[in-house]
Amino acid sequence: MILMVTLFNGLPSESRKYTQAFHDLKPISSSSDEIEYPHHPAAVLSSQSDPACQKLGSTASALRFPIDLDSYNVTAMRSLYEVFDKGIKDEAQLDTSMMMIEGYSVQAVQSVPDESTAVPFRSKRLLLSPAIFVPASGGASLERTGISWGQRMRGVLREGAGGEMLSYVNYAHGDEGVEAWFGHDEWRLEKLMALKKAWDPKCRFSGYAPIPCG
């Protein structure tokens, strides 16, 4: 199943010129609604009560393996589909998993000079990530299977991108490394570390994908 969600800031009548091509594909169902900004997470299945934001028992219910990209590699996307399809067939307990394919309007982000901020990957327009839902009843063995599967899918995309590894830190699995999270420019990491030292001198906020304490 393919589920597509588009968010548009403006009148519903204006959004049609951007979504008409998808309506022309004659999907099984479609709907639209006007929502306020705080309700956006629920619209994209990422609210506090949705599975993507849950943790059940000792097993994480959502394993992600993100990669930031400039553009789609069609060959890699086809290979990704084949790995995803095989994984679902091989392990039925993971059959609620999905592949997240996110694209963003980046004009405002890219209008800020890259060298003026420590925030990395400002040129990237696409964020892709498997979201593997592991039932708590599956235990550590099923979680390991899910991790291996997710890493294979990201590996396909990484190879299609020429080997570069950039991972949106909020989705990161945790094994990507500092440069993948915060950028490969030495000056950028130094700037982040300086901010870390200024605002967290005792390095107390370091539980997940931490900025190194200098």
Put residue 139 in one of left, alpha, beta given phi > 0 → left and psi -120 to 50 → alpha: left
Domains of the chain, by residue range, sit at 55-111+118-199
Nearest-CA neighbor of 136 among 196, 63, 68, 210?
Answer: 63
- For 84, other C-beta atoms within 10 Å of its C-beta total 19
Coil vs helix vs strand at 22: helix
Long-range CB pairs of 185-193, under 8 A, 24+ apart, other chains included? 185/120, 188/118, 188/120, 191/118, 192/118
How does pLDDT run along the chain (214 residues), one tens digit per residue? 899 989 898 888 899 899 999 999 999 999 888 889 899 888 888 888 887 776 655 445 689 999 999 999 999 999 999 999 999 999 999 999 999 999 988 888 889 988 888 888 888 899 999 999 888 788 889 999 999 999 999 999 999 999 989 999 989 999 999 999 999 899 999 999 999 999 999 999 988 899 998 7
What's the whole-model pTM score?
0.86
* Torsion sign (Cα): 211, 48, 28, 26: negative
